[in-house]
Amino acid sequence: MFRRRGDGLIASAMLAPAIAILSIFVVYPLGRAVWLGHLRCDATGRKCRTSGWMQYFDVLRSSDFQHALKVTFVYALLTVPAGLVIGVGLAVLADKQIRGIGFFRTIFSSTVATSVAVASLIWFVLLQPQVGLLPDMLSMFGVMKNPGLLNDAGTALPAIAITSIWANLGFTFIIVTAALQSIPAELFESAMMDGAGGWKRFTNVTIPMLSPTLLFVSVVLVTRAFQAYAEVDLLTKGGPNPERSTETVTYLIYGQTSLVKNDIGLKSTTAVLLFVILLVLSLVQFRSLERRVHYGN
Amino acid sequence: MAGVQLVKVTKNFGSVVAVDDFSLDIADKEFMVLLGPSGCGKSTVLRMIAGLEAPTSGEVFIGDQLMNGVAPKDRDVAMVFQSYALYPHKTVRANIEFPLKARGVDSKLRVAAVADAAAVLGLADLLDRKPGQLSGGQRQRVALARALVRDPQVFCMDEPLSNLDAKLRGETRSELVALHQRLGSTFVYVTHDQVEAMTMGSRIAVIVAGVLQQVGSPTDVYDRPANIFVATFLGTPPMNIFPAQLFEAGEHSVGVRPEHMRFVDSHSGGVEATIRLVEHLGHEVHVTGVLADGTVVVARHGGEEASPQSGDMVTVSAEARHRHRFDVSGRRLA
């Protein structure tokens, strides 16, 4: 494999920093979490006893985990397709060469520089029944104003989803805009000459040419949806209770009102299960969508 | 089928004048080549015919119909792009079929039309492949088939051979000429390659800096160039341009094609030159010399003739009937 013995040593030396960083910050924590996942611990995390590897299955079967997983799936379904459609739509609109479009590009991409905490705070104010703009607008269509979208079990999760869609819009917009600009203009011109109108050009040229980007963005958005924590913590703290209607899996692990917050063993079990579920989901996304993805030539 | 007419067409991009007061008549069924160096505006002219650019002023007619303001899809013009612009995610079949599908043509008719176009261009065995699985020449044929399948009035081609290697380019040149003869359509073909222009065009329009310099048959343009630019742009090596005094009286310039430069006896008149470079190309030899005033002179002769060697002093001359004369502004005299 190596032409000289020295080559192997040089290669090992050059790889060593990366291996060391990966080992310390990825492999060890992951291995440690898997190990902790079969323990039950006290609040301090110092006194642990073995509960057996079946603990993974016990947590998986538990109603708390299944509820949180269901909430997380619904949250992903609310945020990912809508975020993708709005992001692509805005990017396509902003791709036109018209005067002043740079201003709109800046506005559309600005949320990428907004932290989840700031986004949550903005939307917390906007969604307040007393002072918020959105409940006022919704009340015009007969949607109730009190107790407020975040305090109603039926609307709390969609309300958080709006925050997440808004916060992720900048990311989707920037990535899709970059991808749009790399599509050769001749393809659109050719389609135009072939008689394709705007919609046909969009479905026959834009979407297929964007497909690798859309796959990437959808995987990232699904991952982000499954990792949603800060917005839940800041806006609803997993509530309204007792329905726990916004308690996502990540909130189940870390949340202040979480059922497992005092047991590092159970937290690890849940975290590892979330990791496995995300891994499987990503693989399914790649497998199912890759056939529709064109990587160019 | 129909001809194309451009009447006093100007195209500005901001302060840049890409095409300036351009008028050209392209006859029905003609193979017109727009020839010029890169950036001269020839592609802009083609794009205005196709409807991809709107003229700043002037009129574009296809047949008798004024095309200003008419959308590209409604012009009955097909275009073959330099990059071929094939849809990489579609099969060859779907690429060829797309113009018909986009226009809502019945599926049975589409199948038949695709089969016909594929047969004409030898693509029948490649219909289920994607463009990425094809060679450059095959992609070029798919682009042609996609244009052909619509049976348009006018074919616009923007340097379609420039991505092919030299051998394939030569082969495809003759295929395109044969296709033009077979279809009997109007072809407008853009190129910067004078060999393509000379071998393919019924007529050539030479363009420089957005201005039409000369229109004529390849022989006309080569044998009677309208100005020094056309004279030096066409021909390899290009025409030699000398001050008239070297050969005859007057203040004009004299142009002599390299194949008409002769090495003569020093007593029979002519100009002395020192040979700097001798290039043997097999079928011919290019001999480059320098006159006493630094003017470069190039002669071309058959490979079987004896050739001077680098460093030799020779006398070069040209018969009067092979001299082209240009006035001080560069325009042809007589």
> What value does the mean pLDDT take over residues A122-128?
85
Instruction: Please state, in angstroms and rounded to a whole number, the distance separating the CA atoms of residues B103 and B99.
Output: 6
pLDDT at B1: 65
CA distance B88 to chain A (A): 6
Instruction: Please state, in angstroms and rounded to a whole number, the distance separating the CA atoms of residues B201 and B26.
Output: 12
> What value does the mean pLDDT take over residues A265-273?
93
Q: Residue B119: is its pLDDT beyond 80?
A: yes
pLDDT at A240: 87
pLDDT at A270: 94
Residues of B in contact with A199 (CB under 8 A): none
> What value does the mean pLDDT take over residues B106-118?
94
What does pLDDT average to over chain A? 89
Tell me if residue A149 falls in helix, strand or coil.
Answer: helix
- CA dist B42 to B35, B144, B187, B190, B247, Å? 7, 20, 14, 6, 36
pLDDT at A143: 65
Q: Give the pair of three-digit tokens for residue B120.
A: 């004409």
Q: Residue B269: is its pLDDT beyond 60?
A: yes
Strand B262-264: give its sheet, edge to edge.
B262-264, B313-317, B271-280, B284-291, B296-302
CATH architecture of the domain formed by A57-292: Orthogonal Bundle (1.10)
> What value does the mean pLDDT take over residues A158-166?
94
Residues 37-76 of chain B with CB under 8 A from chain A are: 50-52, 71-73
Cis, peptide link before residue A242, omega less than 30° from 0: yes
- Give the confidence band of A55 by pLDDT, cuts at 50, 70, 90: very high
* Residues contacting A116, CB < 8 A, separation 6+: A167, A230, A231, A234
> What value does the mean pLDDT take over residues A3-17?
87
Report CB contact under 8 Å: A191, B102: yes
- Residue ranges per structural domain of chain A: 57-292
Which of A184, A192, A200 shows the shortest C-beta gap to B72?
A: A192
Which of B72, B83, B89 shows the shortest C-beta gap to A193?
A: B72
* Residues contacting A109, CB < 8 A, separation 6+: A170, A173, A174, A177
Report CB contact under 8 Å: B50, A211: no
Most distant CA pair in chain B: distance in Å?
Answer: 79
pLDDT at A190: 95
Q: Residue B315: is its pLDDT beyond 70?
A: yes
CA distance A86 to chain B (A): 24
Instruction: Please state, in angstroms and rounded to a whole number, the distance separating the CA atoms of residues A263 and A40.
Output: 6
How do B284-291 and B271-280 pair as beta strands? antiparallel
Pick the residue from chain A with its C-alpha nearest to B99: A194
Residues 160-199 of chain A with CB under 8 A from chain B are: 184, 186-187, 189-197
- Give the confidence band of A145 by pLDDT, cuts at 50, 70, 90: low
What pLDDT digit, counting tens, does each position of B5-41 carry?
Answer: 999 999 999 999 999 999 999 999 999 999 999 999 9
Residues of B in contact with A211 (CB under 8 A): 89
- What letter would DSSP give residue A111? G
Report CB contact under 8 Å: A193, B51: yes
pLDDT at A36: 92
Instruction: Please state, in angstroms and rounded to a whole number, the distance separating the CA atoms of residues B112 and B100.
Output: 11
What pLDDT digit, counting tens, does each position of B38-62 carry?
Answer: 999 999 999 999 999 999 999 999 9
* pTM score, whole prediction: 0.83
Q: Residue A2: is its pLDDT beyond 60?
A: no
> What value does the mean pLDDT take over residues A219-223?
95
Buried b (16+ CB within 10 A) or exposed e, A257-277: ebbbeebbbbbbbbbbbbeeb
Pick the residue from chain B with its C-alpha nearest to A185: B85
- What letter would DSSP give residue B87? -
Q: Residue A23: is its pLDDT beyond 60?
A: yes
- Give the confidence band of A133 by pLDDT, cuts at 50, 70, 90: confident
Report CB contact under 8 Å: A193, B146: no
Any CB–CB contact under 8 A between B99 and chain A? Answer: yes
Instruction: Please state, in angstroms and rounded to a whole number, the distance separating the CA atoms of residues A145 and A292.
Output: 44
- Give the confidence band of B286 by pLDDT, cuts at 50, 70, 90: very high
* Nearest to A190, CA basis, from B87, B34, B139, B127: B87
Percent of chain B with pLDDT over 90: 72
Cis, peptide link before residue B225, omega less than 30° from 0: no
pLDDT at B323: 92
Q: Residue A297: is its pLDDT beyond 60?
A: no
Report CB contact under 8 Å: A193, B103: no
Report CB contact under 8 Å: A205, B87: yes
Q: Residue B115: is its pLDDT beyond 90?
A: yes
Chain B interface disruption, residue of A194, A210, A215, A295, most B CBs within 10 A: A194
Percent of chain B with pLDDT over 70: 100
Any CB–CB contact under 8 A between A214 and chain B? Answer: no
CA distance A64 to chain B (A): 45
Q: In this predicted complex, what is the ipTM?
A: 0.85
pLDDT at B283: 85
